[in-house]
Every structure is written in C-alpha cells, then in structure tokens.
Amino acid sequence: MFCIVYNMKYIDLFCGIGGFHQAMDQLGGECVFACDIDAQCREIYEKNYGIRPHADITTVDAKTLPDFDVLCGGFPCQSFSNSGKKKGLDDKRGMLFEYILSIAMEKKPSFLFLENVKHIKKIDGGKVFTFLLKRINESGYRISEESVFELSPHQLGVPQQRERVIFVCVRTDIPPRQVSIVPPNPKIDSQSIFETSPSPKYKLSKEVEEVLEAWDEMIQHVEVGETLSPTILCNEFHKTYTPEEFAALAKWKQDYIKRNQPLYQKYKSAWDAWYAKHPLLSKREVYGKLEWQTGKKKANDSIFHHFIQLRQSGIRVKKTNYFPTLVAIVQTPIYAKERRYITPRECARLQSFPDSFVLHEKDQVAYKQLGNAVNVKVVHFVIQKTLETYSMWV
C-alpha cells in the first residue's frame, strides 16, 4: 500500500511498549519524548527504540520538552474498561488525562491522537465521554463525536477482534477537514499469525487439558442445533438453596441458574453421570463454567475446533475466524486444535508488531505488555488518513 512519509516530531505518552511509536515511525515521524510509569515497559521501549521513557507524567515540566507536531497517548483505560471498577473520572488514573491536555496547551502540537477502550463512550451514561470531549475543546483542540473513530484490527486484516476508539484532535486554528475512516475489511488469514514450530512449553498443562476433554465429552451428548447458552454453571446443577439463600445470590447468577435448568433437565442423566466422572470440574470455579460463544452446536462439533480463554467468567469458547481479544490481564488465548497457548510472538503479530521487535524475556511479562499495547495497524490507519486529509498543514 502506498504511504506518504511525513517529517514530523512526536511524543509518546503512556507509551507502553510503543504501539504508537511503531505507527509513527512507519509514517516518517521522529520521537522526541516518551513516558510510561511501568519500569518493564520502559526497559523494552529503550531496547527497541533507543529512547529511555520518562517515568512519571505528573512530574513532566512541559516547558522543557522539545517542540513537536503530534502528541500520541494511549491514556490509562483501567478507569474506563469493562474489566475495571468503572470509577471513571473519580479514579486518579482517569485524571491523568489532564496531564495530556496541560502538555498540549503548553506546546500546541498540530494533532493529538488518543486511544482507549470503546466502553469509554458509555461510562456513567456517556457523561465521562462528554466530559472528555468538552475538556479537549476547552484546551484548544477541535473534537466531536464524529472525530472519535471506533476500529478493530480485524477490519484491517489482522485476525483479532479488539475494538478501540481513537480520538482525533486538531488544533483549532487549523481549518477543519472531514477525515474519512473507512476500513478495507480484507479477507483474513488466521494461519499467518502462527509460528511454525512453537516451543513445547506452550502446551496446556495436564490438568487444563483434562478439563477441556471433560467438557468436550459432554458436548458430544448434546444434539446438533442445541443452544449452549447462557454460561453453563455445572457446579450449580446439584446445589439446593432456600428461597432466602437464592435471593441473596448475585442477579446474574440467579439468571444463569434459572436459564440453565432446561438444558440440564433435557440431558439430566448424561449430566449427572458426566459430573460424577469428573471431580476436577469443582477444583476451581472457572473449570465448572462454560461460555460457549460459537453459536448452536454443529455436526461433529468439538471444543478443540475453537479458540479458548480461561477467564474469571468461565471457559470461553470462541470461533476461530478471529483470535480472542488480548487484554492486559494474562488470559492467554488457547489454540485448542494444537492444545497449546498462543506464544508471545503470536500475540505480537496480533498487535501488528514486526517480528524484529524485541519482546521481554519473561513470557508472563510479554503477554501482559502486549495485551495492554496499542494495536499498531489500528492507530497507523487512523493517523495516516488524518495526515493525508490535513497534508497541506503538515
């Protein structure tokens, strides 16, 4: 694909391992400052880019920063993510957003590109999102709902469904232009992500494999066309509650128990024999919960035909057209066909980092860093389209 190269200087705030850095470098940018509070991210950033990020954005004196044209920032999502406590701007991590604006107001770059989880638009009934747009506009940058773009890697040919929003903020003295973000949605080749000879160390543990085999055994008892939802809580099938005890359960759990009953009753003898055969299902809470997200059961279906994640919410089974969303919490996807976890290098490919990128030597750290990273292709696509639209100003 043809790409214009821009001679622009940029800073990389909340830089992590440099998703924005990768994208901006591909566009000809020069990084003049980076910042991240995570020491291990700073270590990897320096290894790959030769820049040692500043450790704490709250101690940055904007007046001392070199001039730059673009400010990039994947500002903290813990305050806004579905997996967080959703405290929004009451959380001090959410207020770190203000440090971005203070730097922008001092240095006045042409553009701000800010990335976050898509759920940020819904927090507190949309009040947080409205507040963020208001603060950006008050800080000398033009932003509206129409210039906050939602995009996922799978729309750009990367087999990972991971919706994020990118705020495109333009300094108010620059005449407005309409940026068009229309993803190409090309055909996706999941196989291109896999390593040819992954290390045996990524194989599933005997215990996890046994749990998956147990669930696969039960799935074979289920008729083709059967709906396996909502989340099946097999450890609840034989519990009894008084009305008061049941009422005290979380509402979601009450709902699942009630909605599981028809499926349990239909295959009761099979469920009972299966559960007695596999005591391991009650060893950990996650083992006894199945989230079947592949649609109705198909002929010759198997749990080992799909991608799997062991999550707090259960054993999540998803179709293999896209990899499960990578997250900062280590819930490494399982490639069930090969009965192994995907490798850190495969995760890096899902985040559009080149194979030349140096990963952290500890797998658990690398998984976390990649799960928290900005997807390179996503931000590159938005930034490139924006710069093309405003090319007379850059």
Residues 39 and 119 in one domain: yes
pLDDT of the residue at 93: 54
Instruction: Tell whether 367 is covered by a domain.
Output: no
Banded model confidence at residue 326, pLDDT cuts 50, 70, 90: confident
Sort strands 148-151 and 70-73 into parallel, antiparallel or unpaired: unpaired
Mean pLDDT of the 182-186 span: 91
Banded model confidence at residue 84, pLDDT cuts 50, 70, 90: very low
Mean pLDDT of all residues in the chain? 91
- Is pLDDT at 77 greater than 80 in this prediction? no
The most distant pair of C-alpha atoms in the chain lies apart, rounded to whole Å, by: 73
Top pLDDT among 49 and 95 is at 49
Residues 182 and 204 in one domain: no
**Catalytic option among 31, 41, 77, 234:** 77
Asked whether 264 and 237 are in contact (CB, 8 A), the reply is yes
Of 13-17, 145-149, 327-331, which range is least confident? 327-331
Of 75-79, 217-221, 266-270, 373-377, which range is least confident? 75-79
The domain that holds 96 is classified in CATH as 3.40.50.150
Mean pLDDT of the 116-133 span: 91
pLDDT of the residue at 381: 97
pTM of the model: 0.89
Of 141, 79, 133, 130, which Cα lies nearest the Cα of 105? 141
pLDDT of the residue at 185: 86
Residues 111 and 170 in one domain: yes
Amino acid at 267: Y
Supply φ then ψ for residue 77, to 5 degrees.
-100, -5
The single residue listed with the structure tokens 């007695």 is: 276
Per the structure, the complete domain to which residue 329 belongs is given by 200-342
Q: 77 an active-site residue?
A: yes
Of 81-85, 127-131, 287-291, which range is least confident? 81-85
Residues 133 and 214 in one domain: no
- Is pLDDT at 95 greater than 90 in this prediction? no
Instruction: Tell whether 238 is covered by a domain.
Output: yes
Instruction: Tell whether 266 is covered by a domain.
Output: yes
The domain tally of the chain equals 2
Asked whether 351 and 19 are in contact (CB, 8 A), the reply is yes
Instruction: Tell whether 34 is covered by a domain.
Output: yes
CA-to-CA distance for 343 and 327, rounded, in angstroms?
14
- Is pLDDT at 92 greater than 90 in this prediction? no
CA-to-CA distance for 143 and 131, rounded, in angstroms?
12
Amino acid at 273: A
